[in-house]
Amino acid sequence: MSELSSPDIRTVNAEQVLAHLPMRAAVDALKQALLQGFDPSQAHTRTSAGLTHGEFLMMPSEFGDYAGVKILTVGPGNPQRGLPKIQGQYLLFDADTLAPLALIDGVALTAIRTPAVSALGVDILAAPDASDLLVFGTGPQAEYHVRAVAAVREISRVGIVGRSGNKTDRLVAALNAEGFNARTASEDDVAGADIITCCTAASEPLFDGEAVRDGAVVVAMGSHTPDARETDDALARRAAFYVEDVDTALREAGDAAIAIQRHLLRREDLRDLSTMVSEGKRTTSRPALFKTVGMGWQDLVTAKALFENLPG
């Protein structure tokens, strides 16, 4: 091979990601990485670079035999052009030689990785018989969160809460076609839900946290800036509060940062994902709130699981 060329690498498109990275496998891979000693507090941080028409988001990581980086673009004006707002790729490397191994569709990988993190939290925090799921949002993450939660719990009913009636109806119809018992719902249904997932672009709370019943689990993943949140003061005051990593949450998660600023809880009240996994179950009957923002190590772990499951 010429010194001026790189080795051939696998190109993995969106369809291949979805075919060879089952949701349960992604959940298990994340759990195993933490059980094997990976420390999210030592993980590389997400960085961004402004562009004329948007920004780059770059998420590097290294663990075991692999290193990798996800590069996404955020184009706020794209939806008006009929184009995706977020696009990008994941580049997987051999950690020893740093040779590139695979170029993976970054949007499809994120579509699995993000709800898999949520499902890992649900698997630990939700009651074994939790079966009533309420989802805020109607986009791809809302859809994949239903599948992710169904990978760890037997779901008897799914409620979809959306701002657009048409989008809500389409998602309900799609989920029913997959065999879920889905319906259009409202924020009033919070009181009856065992599991609530917030998958929106909202910057203000979506529902009254006093209505969440003891023992229920709320996952909030839609916002990742310190001034935006999907949950309110009441829930922060009542809930056992879990995050992926404490420093990352205080830097990027408004649900946590605002609650601490308002003295609703203290930094030491936040429990991290490593602790969740090592304990293996919830230790309180209060509502549980799991706030996620997405971290590069999660992309790497799921990319590894995908790469090692590819045929050939």
Residue 28 lies in a domain: yes
2 occurs within a structural domain? no
Considering the domain architecture, whether residues 88 and 152 belong to the same structural domain is answered as no
Same-domain check for residues 123 and 194? yes
Residue located via tokens 């939790």 = 130
Half-sphere exposure of 167 (CA within 13 A, CB side): 12
Here the CATH number for the domain that contains residue 103 is 3.30.1780.10
Q: Does 4 fall in a domain? A: no
- Structural domain includes residue 3: no
Whether residue 285 sits in one domain with residue 302: no
Q: Is residue 135 part of a domain?
A: yes
- List average pLDDT for each run of 10 residues in the chain, which is 312 residues long: 72 97 97 94 92 95 97 92 92 97 96 97 96 96 97 98 94 98 97 97 95 97 91 97 96 95 95 93 89 96 98 86
Do 74 and 119 share a domain, yes or no? no
Q: What is the pLDDT of residue 251?
A: 93
Domain count, the chain: 2
Confidence at residue 2, expressed as pLDDT on a 0 to 100 scale: 57
Are 126 and 205 found together in one domain? yes
Q: CATH code at 173? A: 3.40.50.720
- Supply the pLDDT for residue 79: 87
pLDDT value at residue 281: 82
Q: What does 48-102 look like in DSSP terms, one character per residue?
A: EEEETTEEEEEEEEEETTEEEEEEEEE-TTTGGGTS-SEEEEEEEEETTT--EEE
Question: Do both 92 and 118 map to the same domain?
Answer: no
In this structure, are 176 and 281 located in the same domain?
Answer: yes
Do 72 and 84 belong together in one domain? yes
Same-domain status, 192 and 87: no
With CA atoms as reference, report the closest residue to 140 among 115, 157, 119, 123. Answer: 115
DSSP 7: P
Specify whether 125 is located in the same domain as 237.
Answer: yes
The answer as to whether 17 is a domain residue is yes
Q: What is the 3-state secondary structure (H, E, C) of 105-161?
A: EHHHHHHHHHHHHHHHHHHHHCCCCCCEEEEECCCHHHHHHHHHHHCCCCCCEEEEE
| CA atoms of 267 and 220, how far apart (whole Å) | 18
In a domain, 155, yes or no: yes
The pLDDT value recorded for residue 12 is 97
Q: Do 158 and 212 have their domain in common?
A: yes
Range of the domain at 173: 114-294
Same domain, 29 and 84: yes
In a domain, 86, yes or no: yes
Percent helix, percent strand, percent coil in the chain, to nearest 5: 40, 25, 35
